[in-house]
Amino acid sequence: MSEHVRAAFEHRAPTRLPRGELWIGTTVFEEHQIEDNVDAQLELCQEMGMDLISLPVGGLQLSPWEYRQFSPADIEKVAHSDLFVVAVVSGPFQRVVDKRGLGPTLADVGRDTGEIREALRDEVQELGCLIDMCTERGADAVVTADDLAYNRATFFSPAVFRQLIHPFYRGLVDRVHRGGAYAIFHSDGNITGIVPDIVSSGFDGLSCQEECIDILSLKRTYGSQLTLLAGLSCELLNARSLTARRRQRFIERIWSLSGGGGLILSSSSGIHSTRMLHNAGRLYHLADEALTQRGAYDSMGEKGGGAESKDRPGLHSPREIV
């Protein structure tokens, strides 16, 4: 199953879209009275038909959603599976924010006293060691999660980003690559203004908040350079009903995003409720239908009518999955 993910990073045309989530919330396991540990995470990913397992490692981030933090040793425990193993680490700016708070950190950025640069440099040193531990234990990819933006714009100008934070990214990406892994960047908010800099840093993949950024434009501009972890919006994952209109819009979006490869079906929010888990399973099946229909369209010159959607056994009952 990890081969599907590698095909996406190599921008090969998919025979089936790889899928998986960077974050699976503790609440999902609590609702089914199951301890959130590495074994439960692995079982859930396998039962859902995901192609990757993602473990947040060594983070300090205080998220509105509760996610289990794992150790590099846990990566070694799942490296024997047939899943593509992803380690998620908080980036240097996020680590500073977790310790100081966003307001004080942005104030330091505005004053540009040099103190913030030193703090970032210290975090990068620790982060480099953490990345090495993850890749040495079998991580196939490392996600640098650095939230840098509000819903409409970055916290600071692209020029400030280039002077203050961007120089550190190249070294972190090189460290991931030296460990034989793919480097992925994640940020919430509208990071449109700094995407060229993310690309120039050498990241292989990008996970971003589709509600805040034009993901189709990103695909058109950087589709041959970046693998996108995208396609599952919060709206769809939280929907009480996947109406015919929602399903058709989703299928059309998958057609646009999957052209030329380079797509891993994923959300930027993660899964943190039973409803989201259930909808993710249904959307996985619809994505398979979308590729089938697209294949028929390409081969016959007209839209093919795939088989009527039927949920994969077990997906109606997340309790059975976990």
Render pLDDT for 54-76 as a digit per residue (tens, 0 to 9): 999 986 544 545 788 999 999 99
State how far the Cα of 127 lies from the Cα of 70, in Å rounded to an integer.
Answer: 15
CB 86 within 8 A of CB 141: yes
Number of structural domains, the chain? Answer: 1
Nearest to 81 by CA among 183, 176, 1, 179: 1
The 10s digit of each residue's pLDDT in 239-278 is 999 899 999 999 999 999 998 889 999 999 999 999 999 9
Domain interval for residue 295: 2-321
Beta bridge partner(s), residue 91? none
Report the phi/psi class of residue 203: left, alpha or beta, with left for phi > 0 and alpha for psi in -120 to 50.
beta
Q: Residue 177: which CATH number?
A: 3.20.20.210
pLDDT given at position 60: 53
Helices (H), ranges, the chain: 2-9, 26-30, 38-47, 72-78, 92-100, 102-111, 115-136, 158-164, 166-178, 195-200, 215-222, 234-238, 244-258, 274-300, 318-321
Q: How many helices (H) and strands (E) does the chain have?
A: 15, 7
> Tokens 């501009």 identify what position?
221
State how far the Cα of 93 lies from the Cα of 123, in Å rounded to an integer.
Answer: 8
State how far the Cα of 197 lies from the Cα of 166, in Å rounded to an integer.
Answer: 7
Q: How many CB atoms lie within 10 A of CB 85?
A: 26
Q: What is the mean pLDDT of the chain?
A: 88
3-state secondary structure of 308: coil
* pTM for the whole structure: 0.89
Beta bridge partner(s), residue 145? 90, 186
3-state secondary structure of 84: strand
State how far the Cα of 247 lies from the Cα of 107, in Å rounded to an integer.
Answer: 44
Q: Comparing 32-46, 153-167, 215-229, 287-301, which segment has the lowest mean pLDDT?
A: 287-301
